[in-house]
Structure 1
Amino acid sequence: MAHSTVTPAPVTRPAVAALPIRTVLPWAVFFGLLMLVLLYFVGAEQGVVSLISGRGVHEWVHDGRHLLGFPCH
């Protein structure tokens, strides 16, 4: 009976591109501030701390308020 040697194939890992924090951080701050502004308009505008007079903003974000659980009336 002949004895054969089996060598396993080398394991290759997918290449992962490393992103430096200096390239990601400005975009993360920008989108974070954008989300805070959006959250303000959906959750707090037309309340006690209203920046814009009238009901225009409230009507534009009315359904979003209910979807996110903010009471408005």
Structure 2
Amino acid sequence: MAQSAVPAPETAAHPAPVRIPLREVLPWAVFAAVLGAVLIYFIGAEQGATSVFSGTWVHEFTHDGRHLLGFPCH
């Protein structure tokens, strides 16, 4: 008698999903949100009147990223 490679649904063991507590995820989510906001600021708004650093070195460093993400800068 040939045996099937796929077990029958009645005999297949279904593992329980892993539960991750919110208090373990929340600090990483806040960190990711703050980091994302800082990156968007430097790529999208670090020039002109809102500039934190003097000069144009941040603008020139993020220049191609601005155009790739659709931010106008010229």
- Structure-1-length-normalised TM-score: 0.82
**Which structure has the larger Rg?**
1
Question: Could you tell me how far apart the structure 1 residues matched to 2:35 and 2:9 are?
Answer: 51
Aligned residue-pair number: 67
Question: Could you tell me how far apart the structure 1 residues matched to 2:9 and 2:20 are?
Answer: 33
Q: 2:30 is matched with which residue? A: 29
Question: Could you tell me how far apart the structure 2 residues matched to 1:60 and 1:15 are?
Answer: 47
Give the letter for the 1:68 counterpart.
L
Q: 2:48 is matched with which residue? A: 47
5+ residue gaps, structure 2, are: 1-7
Give the letter for the 1:41 counterpart.
F
CA RMSD of aligned residues (A): 1.7
Q: 1:67 is matched with which residue? A: 68
